[in-house]
Each structure stands twice: as C-alpha cells, then as structure tokens.
Structure 1
C-alpha cells in the first residue's frame, strides 16, 4: 500500500518509515526540517530512507493547508501515519503558538486531506502527557484525560477530540497512539538520554529534575515502530458496546480508537542514569533540581488494549535499549 508518514525525518518517523519499506510498502515522507533542533540530524535520518526506491520525500509544513491538500490529491494515499508535531513539554512554556500551529492546525489539515481523498485509516501520535494531573496508575485510555499540565499536552488532547469529530461526521477511521517516553538510536537531542550522554562524555554536570525520583515508562523506539505499523494495519471500527449513558473515553460509536503505546514497566530516572553510566563507563555529575513546571512525576502505561488488538508486546529492556543508543551515539558523533 501507499502510506504517508508525516514527520518522516523525525526520530519515530524514520523508524516507522523503515518498517513499512522493509515489508514492501510505498512510503511518502513529509517533513519541514525545521530548526527546533539540529536539521543536519534530520537530514541524516532522511539519508537512511532515500536509497529505497519505494520512498519519496516532500519538504512541506503540515500547517500549510494548500500544500497538504495538493499532496493528498496528487498521491492518493491508502493510509496515513501522522507523526509530525512540535514536541517538547518545556519549550511549550515559551512558544505556545508553535504548538497550536503545528499540532492543532497541522492535524486539521491532515484530517481534511484524509476526508477528501477517502483515506482508509489515519493513525496519529498523541502522548502520555495528556494524562496530566491524574495519578491513577497505570494510565488507561478508558479513564478521563482532561487535565493536561502543559500546552503541548493540551494541543495533543485537542487532536484526539478533532479526530473523533471526523470519525463521527465523515466515517473516517482514526486511531490515536499515546506514546510513553520513547528513546533509542537517532533520538532527539532535547531528550534526557541524548542530553545526559553528550554532557557526561564532555565532563559536564547533568540537570536531574525531581532529584531523579521521576518514574518513566521508557519505551525503545523499535518496539514503538512495530506497534505503530501493527496499529496502521488494524483499521479502527465502531465499538458495538459503546453506550452514551456510560461513555467510554477510549472507544466510540464512531470508528475511533485511543491506545497507549509504552513499555508498561516504569523505571526510576536515577536507575536510567545508572544504566547510562555503566554503558559509558563515566560517572555522572548530577545537579539535582526540583520538578519542572508542566512535568509529571510518573508515567505508567496500561497497554492491554493494544496487545489485545494487534499483539503489541514490547520486548526491549532499558539495559539493552540504552546500550544500543550509546553504540549509535558513539558511531554517529565519533565519540
């Protein structure tokens, strides 16, 4: 099939595109290669994809409504995986408009393209951050997620609700995936593992928020990519048991689904750093700091729905995943 992967030059987008290409699908990658972090890393990721004859690339911003509409009309996609977004909780405190433009307006343009060109299934990226102030663990898509703590999370929750509207009004099958702390080779430079590795190798102190007592459902990118591809193959359908008297937040009478996609095994940040210290053979100089605004102390995914639907079973331990990241980092940066 022909698949559009938005954010194809991004961390998750590259890995997902590789999965589709490896099994013989045709992939059109979309990305604007913006400067939120080093564009040369995005270009290097693209270079992993462009040798494939079944891959083509469109440099385009999802917020560009005419450009997105023209791409959909020209390419006639079978399915769409929408991963392009302005990411990062802390940056959203300083530049909220970036998040509305990319995440809300951009997703609207993708929904419109899918609607008018009769795409058979849209899978899009949401985030564990939508659970916000909730402390009911593990996080379940069947619980309310209406108390986000940062504008980033609020825009992602908005995309879930927008998708539901399109599923209800136009019968567009949509599946939202709430990602839980993805890490691994080709990762984003603004994320903890990347930052810690760079600073530790340079002999610099690392900022450890919440004194390292965070617990995160760290999920290796290969496990995520496999789950995304499987979810794309499983077209969302209406829930025959859905009741308007007892509305389930994770399903609908429309062809709309929300799933968690995570490791379902939370790890304390201090332990994560210990694993990295072992892999680098470097002791971290920790600068212990309080919890950051917009952050939550713990994430923990209930992935039972995704396991039941598509057989999703993450298998990569933190020890293996961090080692594979370090191996990639040393090779890429000759460190």
Structure 2
C-alpha cells in the first residue's frame, strides 16, 4: 500500500545540534514526508542550518520564520496552517524518531477513522523509561507536543491549539476535549518509540505559576471540574453487565472523569481478555486477590482515596451489601450525575 501524503511540522528555537539530529532522522525514517520547519526566532547558527535543509530538500521542505520567539503553540499553529497532507505530524526539534516509527501510527489511523490524534510510545532520552508504555492501543486524555499525529480533517474541523493556554498539559487536554466533542478521539499506539526530552521551563517561576493558574481556571470554566469514582463489583456479578457499565461510562472518561473498578480476580481476567481493561487510561480495573481478608477491599478503596480524596465510592449493583466507612452512591445516581455534566458541557 502506498504511504499517504504526510506533512511533518517541526518548531525550532535554537538547539542546532539537536535540530540537525531530529531532521536527519525524520528524513531517513519518513522518506515520503514533507517537512514544514518553523524557525521561531532562532540564533544565526540555527537559522543557517534550517536554510541549508530547506534549499537542499527543494519541494520536500517548507521553511517559515518568526522574527522573535512567539512560543511553541503559536509556532505549531503557523506550521499547521500550511499543512496540506491527509496526516499532519508535529515533532519537536529535540525529539528523535527511529526506524518504523510511522507505520504503526498510520496503520492505526486507517483502521480507526475516529482516531483524530495519535501519540507514539515516548521514551525519555537517557533514562530508558517509556511514557505510557502499552501492549495494545489505548485511548488517552491528551496528546503530546513531543510527537503526535493529527488527522487533517480534524484540524480543518476544530482548528489549531489554544494560544491563550499554558503551552503544555492543559493546552493538550483542551485540544483532546475539542477533538472529542467533534467525534474524534486521542490514542496512544505502541510500536517504534520516539525519544523525547523534558520541557525546559523558561521565564520567572512566579509568572509561570500565574499563567498556569489562569489556564486551569479557563479550562474548568470551559469543561467543568473533573470527577473521580470508585465502583465496587461484588462476587457473582455478571461479566456482561460490568462490560456494559464500562462502555456506558466511556464517554464520561473521555471528558475527564476517572473511574476505578474494584472487581473479583476472575472477573478482572475476563475484562482484560475482552479488552475492557484498556479502553481508556481514565478507566482502571483493580483485581481483588483470590485469597483475601474481609478488609482487603476497604484497603484498596483507602489507597484510591489517598491519591484522590474527592473520589466517590459507587455501588456497582444497587442494593449490594457493604460494610465500609464511605457511603455508597447508587449507580443510578452516578448515571444521572454524568448526564447532567454532559448537558452542561454541550
């Protein structure tokens, strides 16, 4: 099968050595792609490097220049505006792709037409740690500026990133929510990993903190406060009913709600085999050990509450017996709450 037309947007601000390595790897491992390089007010050495790449690649490269550093998000948006291919990739100039990095992402995009944003496995340079290591593809709450596929049709529908946000996590979450509202979802797809570097924080800490607080406030005005729930599934629960519960809650997980399912060990095995344990990173299935004491479930709940004290414990089956300290929210009430949240977000 012929590889689809691809545009790769690379925002650049200085770092000539890393930039050269990034561009060389992109050319070696994505031969049918066009590079859209956005020089974000770089120094003369980096500017000259980009000019040399642009002139040497002819039609395979397009160079844009900003006189001053306008920030990552504005640079990305300027590059995305010039994208014409079916698939747009953003790759930071400090990221390194390897052999076969594109194929798993493109294949998944062809199989899942609802996949608007796709992130590869990301390995932190020098540490060998994989961010979000998965065996199978899974929906996630946000993409990554280090490397990400954006379907052109999605970009045409929702536009670029919000330049008024933080240029990091909250900007990415906002974009994923906007994609979701248009019917497209964000996935992490395992395969050939991409190496990335952690973001270097620039400017004063006070200014960054103020901008972050402003961004979070704007995000919550736009999308509401995220909620966390812990659902208890007692022994003897019908596996099909649990699968239906998970699928029912999937749209809420896409909108930021966190769900912890505590289930018997045999039920956990069945859910993992059916793929319900890897539908979305906001849905976690916890297995109660086959041999356990009366307090095991309560300890599991306590661990979840210690990480997210606002978590509400829910009866997976209305009327189930429960001896724990936290009051149980009926599942029917959880459904009602989620519907009200969906109505407000729409």
So what's the TM-score if we normalise by structure 1? 0.30
Higher strand proportion: 2
Greater RCO, CA 8 A, separation 6+: 1
The structure whose Rg is larger is: 2
So what's the TM-score if we normalise by structure 2? 0.29
